[in-house]
Structure 1
Amino acid sequence: MSPTIELADQVFEAGPVAMTPSCVEWTFHAGEWRLRIEAHAPGVFRLRCGPLAWLEPGKPTLRAQRQADMLLARHEAVGEMECLTRETGGWRLVQGEAGLEVGGSEPGLRLFRGDECIARALLPIPSAGSGSGRWPLVWALEPDEGVYGLGESLDELDRRGARLVSDAPADRCLPLAWSPRGWGAYVNTLNRVEHDLQADGAYTVEAWGEGLDLFLFVGDPSEILNQYTALTGRAGQPNLWPMGVWLDQAPGQSAESSLQQIRSLRSQGMALDALVLAEPAILGFQADKPVFEWSGRIPDWRGFVAQAAELDIHLAGACIPGVLQGTSLFEEWADRGWLLCDAEGEPWLCPGTPASGGQPFGLLDLTHRDAARLWTERHLQAVEEGLEAPVCQAQFDLPDETEARGGETGAVLRSAYPHLARRALFDAVAGPRTPQEGVLLSRDLFPGVQRFAWQQGPAVDNDWQGYAATLRAALSVGNGGVAVQTHRLGNAGRPTGAMTPELYLRWLAMGVFSANFSFQGLPALMPDAFDADTRALVAHWLQWRYRLLPYVAGIIDDAVRTGLPVQRSMAQAYPADPDAHVWDTQYLLGPALLVAPVMQAGGVTEVYLPKGDAWWDLNTGWRYEGGTRWTVRPGLDTLPVFGREGHMLCLGPTAQHTGEINSARILEEVWMFGMPEHNPVVMRNKIRVMQMQGSSYIKGLEGLRILPSEGLEVKRRGAEVRISRAR
């Protein structure tokens, strides 16, 4: 690495050269470089450092603007701060409780929350003219301090000990890191960022680029996720049907066999809403025309769509963002410059994926407006013909020399390409509707992924370890800003011998109390593979899923406003309770429910109830104080779930699909956990809670059954309900 200098050594001796209520700027390297710090939003500082020509390039090019828009949904600073001179030297920038100190006798950056220093970091900067293009940032961590976020993890949620590279697909990396101590950091770039989280030492971030663009957050993890997703974008509210149960077609399974499985489930009282057609892609470009054709494995696509519609089943299926090698259309688009190219200017060939049936194909250059528009238009037509949710995996390990028409290469192209693919497909699914609604399925992780629903969970083994891995995967990406990640109930591509009835039901119960899950169409993983008692319990849990839909939909609607995930890790929900952080397979489902899935055979599990709240057992109605630990033995028809005191759970009717749910009467019943203090999270929320003279007055409960917890009494007054202590 080229020589570096400490930030404090050269920048702060002469003081700022520019100062406004939202921005302070210093100059160094003979005035050719700048350090600019903005109060970007309450509790958010933006630090940009580098050559003036990088910081103020003049009118941005179209390519630069498109890349900036991939990263940020809000570019302008909306906060204000004070810039104070410290007696010991240096400067302190203050906005509310959030403070950032720079310079002085102590080198580096220091983040404050009130009077408490919550983080320290060194920011060595390259010497002028070094041309290193690499920016190290070294966080000094406390010995027991956890760092969360940074993408998907199948084991530890605390990322200490991990080494991650942002543009390496296998690392499953996301850009946000945060600590329960109250700080977060995000490097705003499509270029490479390397994270080295030493298990017992510092956390080193090294960002590549001509300059450094760094966002620093101060607050609880929930506040950090709120500000991060407000800054980088959030997904919209989907329709109701994606929250119903899904079925993943097994490899090689026929369409008629899948429909028969659906009929069998329905005949046994089991609910279902969507079918994901197996790979290879269900549609693709014709060999000689830029027109989609449906796969020959479903000879009569329109007839199949009609049969699915009769069953109220919504269809999803895979696509590839490219054209098969050896076709005349491949040659035509290569000549036109619509395909990504290698170092020699020839089309770069993807060696084949499951979606392409293993056949090599050229990748559409989605930086090319015409190519991207065509791909969107063709999928819009496919949606009109019955494909309601495309499935696309577009995160490829592109060689450094692969180049797009806009000039993107290397890490930038690897980070940008899945974003461009997801954006083009979402435009097709959402169409002209306002607000835009719709889902598309993908496993891709990239900066900005949280703007798009629905994120697929990993393919794991059919054993207790695989069950734990899919849960931790959802909690870890939730820590990184992804609101919704789904689960697969098993894996059709792995041995099924370890999938016992007990494991199947425990896995199913966790999936019911999550953003969503899917059955696997492989006969050995379908409910029909098990005995009658197990099938009856499957039907029981599916009834619970559909009763929960108003609440789950409300959590997702809440995520549109707050950026908080559906499944919330203990470190994210209870940062001030370090005892809770080690319980990494229990979680909050939205704000009202604590879920502690049974994670091992035998039916005995331990539950930790976090400090700061009291908890009501949904199964027994008993109340427990927070900060306590319990051993429970739930049967296969129950799951350890606890209601958070002061909250309510609103439930809907049982149904076999969402088409049976009356949108004008989506609620049936309300469960209260202690005296209601919070408005419930529920789809199309019109329920409001007010406190007065020791009682709660609630509007919006007309016609609903109300189940108060012990010690409360309910009195109805027309459209208003009064909840008070029992005398």
Structure 2
Amino acid sequence: MTSIKNQINYIFVLVVLLSFFGCMEEDISYKTTSDGVVVTLKNEAIKSGTSLVYMQVLSPTIIKIAIASKDSSLNMPSLIAKEKLNESVTFDIQQKDEIIVLSTDSLTVKLNLENNEIGYFDTSGKLLLEQKQSSIVPFRDSIVGNQNFIKQNFKYADDEVLYGLGQHELDELNVRGKKIELTQQNTRVSSPVILSTKGYGMYWDNYSKSIFNDTGDTSFISSEIGDKIQYYFIKGHHFDLIISGLRDLTGTAPMLPKWALGYIQSRNRYKNKKELVDVVKKQRRLKIPLDGIILDYLHWGDKGFGSMVFDPMDFPNPEGMIDELHNQLNCKLIVSVWPSLKKGIANWKLFDNKNLLLDLNLGDFGQVHDAYNPAAGKLYFDLVKKNYLDKGVDAIWFDATEPEQLEKFAQTRSFIGPTAKYLNLYSYYDMKNIYNGQRELSDNRVFALTRSAFLGQQQFGSVIWSGDIGVDFQALKEQVPTGLNFSMTGIPYWNTDIGGYAGGDPNEPEYQEVFTRWFQYGTFTPFFRAHGRRQPMKTRSGENELWSYGAEKQKILTKFVQLRYRLLPYIYTLFNQVYSQGYTPMRALAFDFLADSKVYEINDQFMFGSDIMVCPVLEKGATQREVYLPKGTAWFDFWTGKKYEGGQKIVAAAPIDILPLFVKAGAILPMGKVMQYVDENPDDKMEIRIYDGEEANFVLYEDEGENNNYENGKGSRISFTYFSKDRTLEIGAIAGEFDGMLKSRTFDIVLVSEKSGVGLFYSKEFTKSVIYKGQPLNIKL
């Protein structure tokens, strides 16, 4: 009897299910694919143009969402992100009532068939993000033809903090409650990536003018033009994992040449060869470390933008000048180039004859070449090669790669279609053309300084600077969160004109203070470069060299250049981690202290690497500043060795010659000798500072410095492991090798205290000094 009853119940349930799915057939259907699920929505979804949803599994933690009104749009490939990643992913698709459930071993994605909303959950069932209403609205105009306006609503948690979106001159980190236009302009760089304190990131995969809006009662991202809505959800319990996922998706950042980590001197502009070379000679004479100098625009005299020549009156025999810089002064030369060509000059004719120019004429600045066109990109690179690289120029500064005049630019038509649709990608394609050309040309690492960027550009050796910003404390104050938010979009190499761009008189005490505080901050940005158009501002800058700011300030500025060079072993290791681990060297505090909610909206402190906390002085006349010490570790004052417990605010001394710096307990800080340029001398004697209180580990990385052999494993790693309980340091056997690798060296080991291992200078007394020849050592301290 029980068996028959069970069979009747089974049949009843089966009939109900078949009836349910029969009804559902009218409204919804889905099919699994090898990498996800495609859902066809009907009824209300049709009205909003969002009848197709593709949830694609790229990795256990990366989900691509595409929403479209037709199959042809749904499957259009991204211009930036890879279609597949190099891993096989196990996932599961189920339907539970009116919910499609996609699961990996790291997250669960639920598509609600009643309202077409999507929820993202971690493995414990905690909701991370809700995708709300979607809309795709077709339109037509004379510039772009048939296109769509797209908009995606999201719901963020009340206590959630969001970062990223690029460089937007905000004086705070958190972008919640803000409306931000995502376009490229001088001083603004848009990269549509957000990181959340809930443990996820998102890349909005659209290249047209877009809006991030979290004001009022609604939160959305919209774009003026899009074939579909497309974005990538990346889960990660800390930000490094999310950024690493972004790099897996959009390209690995290569290592910069080692010299690019040193100090670079610049101003707008050096008038002639004598002026430029004399600056380098004086810097060497004063023993102020230097690795490069920049020759800014108009070095071509009256020949016009895009002529790519050295003016024969001001810069005769440029090859001889470069040879002197290289072989007598050990200094690299970076030269400024623009993407435009003056109408009528010979180079302009080369582009015009082949229809390789955009219909964007910037007057005296010239007509912009169509970087979206591979033929234009190749011709442009060939001219850069012929006129600069072949003469010995070490790197190029690509100015104005937004390009300028946004509204006019948006009206043009490029090789790949209406420029408005690809508005934010000009710099991406420009740097791609340059990088590929240089990689084919030589085995030297590519370094390019530029004023714009988009996610993915990190793979082209790009260093981005923040454009023509102001020169006062308010501008400096904005640069700190601006740079941190930019770094949280996956592009690791960023800097700012130290001292700001337009203005500032080196003879005025008030500006001397601004420049000094800015310089201290700039010491701890990925690229260390002073630049600006100082008073008197006519056709070019007044002086901007370190001695221009008076003897007292020169001494302070020199101190910080020397500190940068002492820290190069640490910094170079960080830059290898950028390549090998998807790391970010300039870090908002939430990177390393996500469990401490008090750091979420601290806008004026950051980590340089995971061990050094930088606390810039951003107020006029300040001789001290409040510092929050994140909880979970103890902290050492870098200058005094005094130890503090974390989780508290302190008042740190900040006289004009001090930038408050704190090193966390459990850090191992390798510090080299002060050199006048990188690799002036071998690092055969290195101070190893150990900040006691926790177990510590550091893996020192070294390689050949300028070529790409590191990509083939040519490099060495030496591991340092400190056991606090018994004060023992283990130095592991050297792993790897490269040409010129040291066979023997001295490590002077210092347990940091208020008596030793503090400040700029090499410690006079060591806890222990050892000779290291590549074999393991176990040292009792």
Q: What is the TM-score when the length of structure 2 is the normalising length? A: 0.80
Q: What corresponds to 1:343 in structure 2?
A: none
Within 2, Cα distance between the matches of 1:493 and 1:129? 42
* C-alpha deviation, 1:715, in angstroms: 9.1
Q: What corresponds to 1:3 in structure 2?
A: none
Establish whether residue 657 from structure 1 lines up as the match of residue 677 from structure 2.
Answer: yes
Is the partner of 1:599 in helix, strand or coil? coil
Q: What corresponds to 1:25 in structure 2?
A: 38
| Structure with larger Rg | 2
Task: Give the 3 Å change call, closer, same or farther, for CA 713–528 of structure 1 in structure 2.
Answer: closer
- Which residue identity lines up with residue 18 of structure 1 in the other structure? T
- Point out where structure 2 has 5 or more consecutive residues left out of the alignment: 1-22, 141-145, 535-541, 704-715, 735-743, 755-765
Task: Give the 3 Å change call, closer, same or farther, for CA 412–128 of structure 1 in structure 2.
Answer: closer
Q: What corresponds to 2:607 in structure 1?
A: 588
Q: What corresponds to 1:364 in structure 2?
A: 369
Within 2, Cα distance between the matches of 1:484 and 1:533? 31
Q: What corresponds to 1:383 in structure 2?
A: 389
Q: What corresponds to 1:611 in structure 2?
A: 631
Is the partner of 1:46 in helix, strand or coil? strand
* C-alpha deviation, 1:617, in angstroms: 2.2
* C-alpha deviation, 1:299, in angstroms: 2.6
* Structure 1 residues 539-578: aligned runs within 5 Å: 539-578=558-597
Per-residue deviation, residues 563-612 of structure 1 (Å, max 9, x unmatched): 33221012333232221122211111012211112222221111111122
Q: What corresponds to 2:274 in structure 1?
A: 256
Counting matched residue pairs gives 686
Per-residue deviation, residues 61-83 of structure 1 (Å, max 9, x unmatched): xxx7xxx4x51256347352433
Establish whether residue 697 from structure 1 lines up as the match of residue 730 from structure 2.
Answer: yes
- Which residue identity lines up with residue 149 of structure 2 in the other structure? R
- Which residue identity lines up with residue 731 of structure 2 in the other structure? I
Q: What corresponds to 1:120 in structure 2?
A: 130
Q: Confirm or deny: 8 A CA contact 2:167 2:466 kept in the other structure.
A: no
- Which residue identity lines up with residue 402 of structure 2 in the other structure? Q
* C-alpha deviation, 1:29, in angstroms: 4.8
Within 1, Cα distance between the matches of 2:304 and 2:470? 37
Task: Give the 3 Å change call, closer, same or farther, for CA 372–85 of structure 1 in structure 2.
Answer: closer
- Which residue identity lines up with residue 277 of structure 1 in the other structure? L
Within 2, Cα distance between the matches of 1:329 and 1:458? 27
- Which of 262, 265, 271 lines up with 1:247 in the alignment? 265
Q: What corresponds to 1:439 in structure 2?
A: 447
Is the partner of 1:175 in helix, strand or coil? strand
Establish whether residue 146 from structure 1 lines up as the match of residue 161 from structure 2.
Answer: yes
- Which of 496, 504, 507 lines up with 1:495 in the alignment? 504
* Structure 1 residues 51-450: aligned runs within 5 Å: 51-56=70-75, 68=78, 70-73=79-82, 75-76=84-85, 78=87, 80-83=89-92, 85=94, 89-103=98-112, 108-114=117-123, 115-126=125-136, 133-154=148-169, 155-169=171-185, 171-198=188-215, 201-207=217-223, 208-219=225-236, 220-251=238-269, 253-280=271-298, 282=300, 292-296=308-312, 297-309=314-326, 310-327=328-345, 330-331=348-349, 333-340=351-358, 348-352=359-363, 359-381=364-386, 382-392=388-398, 393-396=400-403, 397=406, 398-404=408-414, 406-434=415-443, 437-450=445-458
- Point out where structure 1 has 5 or more consecutive residues left out of the alignment: 1-8, 58-63, 341-347, 353-358
Q: Confirm or deny: 8 A CA contact 1:647 1:680 kept in the other structure.
A: no
Q: What corresponds to 1:634 in structure 2?
A: 654
Establish whether residue 34 from structure 1 lines up as the match of residue 52 from structure 2.
Answer: yes
Per mean C-alpha deviation after superposition, the further-off stretch among 173-182 and 468-477 is: 468-477
Task: Give the 3 Å change call, closer, same or farther, for CA 362–531 of structure 1 in structure 2.
Answer: closer
Within 2, Cα distance between the matches of 1:448 and 1:258? 35
Structure 1 vs Structure 2 CA RMSD: 3.3
Within 1, Cα distance between the matches of 2:483 and 2:544? 21
Between the two proteins, what is the percent identity of the paired residues?
A: 17
Within 2, Cα distance between the matches of 1:428 and 1:71? 19
Q: What is the TM-score when the length of structure 1 is the normalising length? A: 0.86
- Which residue identity lines up with residue 119 of structure 1 in the other structure? L
Is the partner of 2:688 in helix, strand or coil? strand
* C-alpha deviation, 1:105, in angstroms: 5.9
Q: Confirm or deny: 8 A CA contact 1:33 1:52 kept in the other structure.
A: no
Within 2, Cα distance between the matches of 1:673 and 1:438? 36
- Which of 431, 456, 460 lines up with 2:465 in the alignment? 456
Within 2, Cα distance between the matches of 1:628 and 1:213? 43
* C-alpha deviation, 1:690, in angstroms: 5.2
* C-alpha deviation, 1:671, in angstroms: 0.8
- Which residue identity lines up with residue 524 of structure 2 in the other structure? F
Per-residue deviation, residues 471-518 of structure 1 (Å, max 9, x unmatched): 233212101112011232214521334644443333222222221322
Per-residue deviation, residues 296-323 of structure 1 (Å, max 9, x unmatched): 4313312321332221111111112343
Within 1, Cα distance between the matches of 2:137 and 2:616? 53
Q: Confirm or deny: 8 A CA contact 1:39 1:79 kept in the other structure.
A: no
* C-alpha deviation, 1:174, in angstroms: 0.8
Within 2, Cα distance between the matches of 1:157 and 1:304? 44
Establish whether residue 620 from structure 1 lines up as the match of residue 631 from structure 2.
Answer: no
* C-alpha deviation, 1:12, in angstroms: 11
Within 2, Cα distance between the matches of 1:23 and 1:590? 37
